[in-house]
Chains A and B, each alone.
Chain A
Amino acid sequence: MNVAGFLNFRGLLVASYLLLAFSCTRQMPDDVAEAYRQLPLQVDFNFHIRPILSDRCYPCHGPDENARKGDLRLDQQTAAMARLNQSEQYAVVPGKPGHSVLVERILSQNQEHMMPPPESKLSLTAEEKALLIKWIEQGAEWKKHWAYIPPVKSVLPEVDQTSWPRNQIDFFVLAKLESLGLPPSEEADKRTLIRRLSFDLTGLPPTLTEIQEFLQDSSVNAYEKLVDRLMASPEYGERWCWEWLNVARYADTNGFQGDPVRNMWPWRDWVIDAFNHNMPYDQFTIQQLAGDLLPQATTNNVLATAFNRNHMYNGEGGRIPEETRVENVFDRVETMSTTWLGLTMNCSRCHDHKFDAISQKEYYQLYDYFNQTSEEGIGYTGRVKPILDLSPPEKLQKVAELQDYVDKISTQVANKELEKFPRDPGQPAAESKAAVDLDGDNLYALGYTPNQRNPYYIGLLENYYRDRDQVYSALLKELKEAKRKRDQQSADNLQVMVMDQVDLPRKTFILDRGIYNKPLAQEVTRNVPEILPPLAPEDANNRLALAKWLVSDHHPLTARVTVNRYWQYFFGNGIVKTVEDFGVQGALPTHPELLDWLAVDFMESGWDLKKLFKKIVMSASYRQSSKVTPELLETDPENKYLARAYRGRWPAWMLRDQALLVSGLLVDSIGGPPVKPYQPAGIWEEATFGKISYKQDHGDALYRRTLYTFWRRIVGPTMLFDNASRQTCSVKASNTNTPIHALTTLNDITFVEAARVMATRVLQEGSTDDLRLKLAFELATSRLPQANELAILSGRLKELKHQYAGSPEDAKALVTVGEFPLPTGLNTADHAAYTAICSLLLNLDETLTRQ
């Protein structure tokens, strides 16, 4: 169906006890009969019925062949309408609920007979039973799942309040609100708007000058000018880069044991740049998924493909390389699927999808696209091939020379091992009869060619043979050292893990239950899932073709999924609340026509993200106040229908950036290697058994935007709460409210230092306490305090000054938190008092929250 098929069912609630055409009505239990009377006039398959079937019936009567019971499937029309297994009966007889076994079974009270069966622990409510009955009664119309049908731009709906809408978005929002009898909220005031816009578009609050300029600009397009200025600022690219790093599971280490450092940050800078240059999203997609396969691929095109290598990497000793490699391919498939298709594929790794029509075979068909890279699962560093070396030529040359030497010695060792461990051609030395008596580690080492073997295992062999075969041991030592030298030089070089394509394609098989070494006999070849449009005929059916297919104009999912993901950053939730799941178990869109309108418009604009964002923030819907009235809390507690703006805590990274900006500490340079700001002692040591220490940076590095903070995968930055773990793809942020957050913004050095530097600024810029308090308040909240607020602060300030004058030690301690130099000439007690006030202001709910 397309979205026009969704029913606007307000006003259609009919007490329809006259509709007693259903012959079973008499047999309906009272509660079902009562629910039946409350149903809308017209039951809609996608809106009402599929969610019930999918949730309660598909576990046994859905796409998963192995789980199917009674040979009945209810996910396909023909199958659902077909004659039941070896009987004269039908589950569903359109128009005739009395003849439909489905109805009989859902109404049955017999434990042996009822559906869903008691042992499933699932049940249907009276309303759901009534809906199924009425749907059959009305002809059991079947529709394709909405998200698999390409979107179309519908005409703008009519609204009563014609003066309210500012652009197309508002017609859809207002029409819905009017249908529910909810008035939209008034527009937020200018200070709230500039604060909201600045955070949303750049991740930072406005400066006082920017606020003044906006307040004083009375031109009709003042708001639009502000939007344009913010979108043109370099901070825009940093702000949107952050969200993409969560999607791309970006981190500065591999994760797992040893957690070695990697150098993926040039890719991060590529992303900032792409956003700042407003690279069309189709290009953005193609370059990251398959830039290496573009004709005449540039260095930047190849760099973009580091997207596919940002996954965790398990290089533990004793790890089976193929298992690592296969897991990495899984991760690539699933990241692509969540990000572009909004489909959760991981179930299909092991079995046919229980709900969506994606078979295990189709999963491995997608897997085949990502199965063709030269990564072998062998490697223990953050620079596992294929890599792109961005170093100057002389450094490239050095690595090449060292590699040549490794190759030379490897060949010598290999020749020696042919003598020493005679075996059949093609077999590893470990298979030789001469290796029978070796212990596990040495045998393990000999399972790999000398070239593949890592220095640790080479060292074990070297030790073992020191007294047993000196020549061999010496060769091994030479090889170990050659590899170490090469690795040291590589570590010094700027090497980014990227994608390539092997010359001889790997064969792909379905893996039984997703286990790496349990391939089924049937080979699969790359293709896209059948429920989606076919691939365009391309020269080669490879990753590039897949990437182009994702952003082709007729694709039903990519534009919707993308628009929806970005919508959530402006409105708190997606139009489809399950941002990660557009499948049949996902939430239905609250505004289907709007989602489709935006998706089509996005494609028509040439996948222009800045245009999309501008459309969103220019709307009246966006500009509403976020105030919650008792009526709104009652009728729409989750704000699904957008009768008010989204109100919620800013992400932790923005809170830190805000503290740095308002204190004047922020160092706004863009890009470069990650930095290590303050972190409580011992965190890395504890996580790595003392093997890795955190060496905090100093000076400017302490005050860079949080985007540049070093991210150790096994223990992320401690001051961030609610952020994605950066271990797998994450498209949706959580927003919780816990005491741990309070402790962070109250006591973390970053925030206390920001408060004391902010206090310096306030003391220096304001001439009286009143002016200083107003200034501090405005820095924190972007507005001026009301009289009652100012009174509370004045009272507290007076008391604090008194307290700190009486405790010079405390005062001194507080104003010297952090490494930023303390200016001379300030009264320490006053400075401490203002520091406490600034800390308080940085913890106001209003400071922490998007209003």
Chain B
Amino acid sequence: MTMHPIEQLKASMTRRSFFSKTAQGIGLAALGSLIHPGVAAGRALSNLQSGNTLSLPHFAPKAKRIIYLFQNGAPSHVDLFDYKPTLEKWHGKQIPDNLVAGKRFSTMTGKQQNRPLISPRGKFAQYGQSGAWVSDLMPETAKIADDLCFIKSMYTESVNHAPAITFFLTGSEQPGRPSMGSWLTYGLGSTSADLPAFVAMTSRDKEASCGQIFYDYYWGSGFLPTRFQGVKFRGGGDPVLYLKNPDGMTRQVRRELLDDLEKLNQINLSEYGDPEIVTRISQYEMAYKMQMSVPELTDFSREPQHILDMYGPDVHRKGSFAYNCLMARRLAERGVRFVQCMHAGWDQHRNLNYQLQVQCKDTDAPSAALIKDLKQRGMLDDTLVIWGGEFGRTPFLQGKIEDYRNWGRDHHPYVFTLWMAGAGVKPGVSYGVSDDFGFSPVENPVHVHDFQATIMHILGIDHELFTFKHQGRRYRLTDVHGNVVTGVLS
């Protein structure tokens, strides 16, 4: 007599043997596919769905994981990385009409009739062997310039924050599509036994100068199954909700209760034969593991002092960017595939002269520390780090030139800079060029969809082949666009 499929499954996978397998690197998605042949592993599901024969990765990946340091609010490219001496010469003079004609700005400067250019806020110099131009507002980033790959010809389509961020992270300005991390964990599965594959964290400047909201669709799974959505670690208290056992329930009591829960569920399984019951048992085990792994993850007490110092004093403040950067490294070490740290506070419409410095202070050292930390551990070889916002800022002034205290720069989607470092990208390179005013790309323009295609490529995915069929349409992260930017690939 043939064995019941569930019996086979159980025989192959008692609870404990099942997790010892993970420790050997089978990974959660692989486990999922054991539990649920053809359903739990995203790519198998995708095969069923699309009629395409997907086998991921499509080619050898350069990176295994991504840490995305997303700078919400849009850092000013002309003040930080894209050095334009012309702006110094033209300081106080009107921007040439031919540049702004027909361009859309936010309502804040859309009606402003004077648009004087202003010089870069920081002092630029060249750093490292690559001679990268970096502003002195970013002293620590300047020191690692030889590890960085700048793209100075990014451009996007939206002039408002939420649609532009959604566009960067999901490929569409309207909420509802899967975010990059969901696509990747859906396609590539997890490599962590006791943590989720996709983690999102948020921080903001200490003074909360800008009121932007982190919408959960920034890490949402859209139409992909919800288990692929990013797990949002909260800034204060428990990073995962409901993680702590209730008062009065010890871990031992919990263990014993879960053991009995499993026994009772097994009895029901023998009666009902539903594979979902096996999944349920394994997910309760994962919950139990996370009760241990998450607090361990957030316990920095064994981090050497020099490492903590590198990230800066804010590293001890839960929910700060520095704290999240160190968390990102610890998550990456534990096999988490996609870490999305989002930092808000760059939206300097009328406090550029002061707030820009604050933001740089908040993010410069921690970002550089993360790169150095990964590098010294050899992890930069298989981790890709991305740093950038949803658009840039206008080279011209928002506000009035005589009102120095309230100087600002408005949203600027037409060109901006981001940098990447680590696996898959050339170090010490600057790709793409903007015009003398930092207004438009003049060489190798890179659209957001091109950027997304490139990220996918580095993870071994052909962005055009990797699709999910939903409501009658095959969707991709890159919609129907995007070309891999081969010039940045290592």
Contact = CB atoms under 8 A, between A and B. Distances in A.
Contact of B250 (A648, A688, A810): A810
B284 to A, nearest CB: 5
B14 interface: no
A443 B108 CA distance: 8
Given A121-B465, A737-B227, A792-B260, A444 B107 contact: yes
Given A318-B107, A633-B273, A687-B214, A440 B399 contact: yes
B241 A752 contact: no
B interface majority secondary structure: loop
Interface in A787-824: 788-789, 792-793, 796, 799-800, 803, 807, 809-815, 817
Interface string A681-699: 1110011111100000000
Interface stretch (A159-167, A542-550, A563-571, A841-849): A841-849
A504 interface: no
Contacts of A585: 471-473
A714 B213 contact: yes
Contact of B106 (A55, A318, A686): A318
Q: Which of B217, B289, B473 has the most CB of A within 10 A?
A: B473
A814 B287 contact: no
A125 B112 CA distance: 59
Interface stretch (B60-68, B204-212, B371-379, B414-422): B204-212
A838 to B, nearest CB: 11
Interface residues of A, number: 107
Contacts of B234: 682-683, 686
B466 to A, nearest CB: 9
Interface in B416-470: 462, 464-465
Contact of B212 (A257, A749, A810, A845): A257
A739 B253 contact: no
Interface residues of B, number: 96
Given A256-B213, A737-B279, A796-B257, A444 B111 contact: yes
A744 to B, nearest CB: 5
Interface stretch (B132-140, B263-271, B357-365): B263-271
Nearest to A832: B248
Nearest to A584: B472
A531 B260 CA distance: 59
Contacts of A455: none
Contact of B113 (A436, A444, A683): A436
A626 B277 CA distance: 13
Contacts of A789: 264, 267
A851 B287 contact: no
A470 interface: no
Contact of A814 (B208, B248, B265, B406): B248
Contact of B5 (A55, A256, A630): A630
B92 interface: no
Interface stretch (A35-43, A289-297, A575-583): A575-583
Interface in A667-721: 680-683, 686-691, 714-715, 718, 721
B268 A844 contact: yes
Contact of A628 (B162, B241, B274): B274
B109 interface: yes
B41 to A, nearest CB: 14
A839 interface: yes
B283 A836 contact: no
Interface string A581-607: 101111000000000000000000000
B44 interface: no
B275 A836 contact: no
Contact of A738 (B227, B237, B269): B227
Contacts of A840: 257, 260-261, 264
Given A630-B2, A690-B208, A836-B253, A354 B473 contact: yes
- Which interface residue of A430, A714, A742, A807 has the most chain B CB atoms within 10 A? A742
B12 interface: no
B287 A746 contact: yes
Contacts of A827: none
B261 A687 contact: no
Contacts of A257: 211-213
B290 interface: yes
B299 interface: no
A731 to B, nearest CB: 11
Contact of A647 (B216, B247, B249, B276): B276
Interface string A419-460: 000000000001000001101110110010000000000000
A132 B26 CA distance: 42
Given A344-B472, A354-B473, A747 B113 contact: no
B380 interface: no
B277 A447 contact: no
Interface-central residue, B214, B319, B464, B471, by most chain A CB under 10 Å: B471
B147 to A, nearest CB: 33
A634 B273 CA distance: 12
A815 B248 CA distance: 8
A686 B5 contact: no
B274 A647 contact: yes
Nearest to A629: B273
A683 B237 CA distance: 10
Contact of A121 (B107, B226, B256, B464): B464
A373 interface: no
A54 B474 CA distance: 11
Given A440-B399, A627-B273, A739 B211 contact: no
A319 interface: yes
Contacts of A683: 234
Contacts of A734: 225-226
A256 B212 CA distance: 9
A727 interface: yes
Given A444-B111, A691-B211, A810 B237 contact: no
A320 B242 CA distance: 40
A439 B273 contact: no
B247 A441 contact: no
Nearest to A436: B113
Nearest to B257: A840
Which 5 interchain pairs have the tightest Cβ spacing?
A: A585-B472, A814-B248, A813-B248, A742-B287, A813-B247
22 contacts: A121-B52, A121-B462, A125-B51, A437-B400, A440-B112, A443-B112, A447-B107, A581-B471, A583-B472, A630-B4, A682-B236, A686-B202, A737-B227, A737-B283, A742-B284, A747-B242, A796-B257, A800-B253, A807-B250, A810-B248, A836-B253, A851-B272
Interface of A: 54-55, 121-123, 125, 256-259, 318-320, 344, 346-347, 354-356, 430, 436-437, 439-441, 443-444, 447, 578, 580-581, 583-586, 626-630, 633-634, 647-649, 680-683, 686-691, 714-715, 718, 721-722, 725, 727-728, 734, 736-744, 746-749, 752, 786, 788-789, 792-793, 796, 799-800, 803, 807, 809-815, 817, 832, 836, 839-840, 843-846, 848-849, 851
Interface of B: 2, 4-6, 51-52, 106-109, 111-114, 160, 162, 174-176, 196, 202, 204, 208, 211-217, 220, 225-227, 231, 234-238, 240-250, 253-254, 256-257, 260-261, 263-265, 267-269, 271-277, 279-281, 283-284, 286-287, 289-291, 319, 349-350, 398-400, 403, 406, 410, 462, 464-465, 471-474
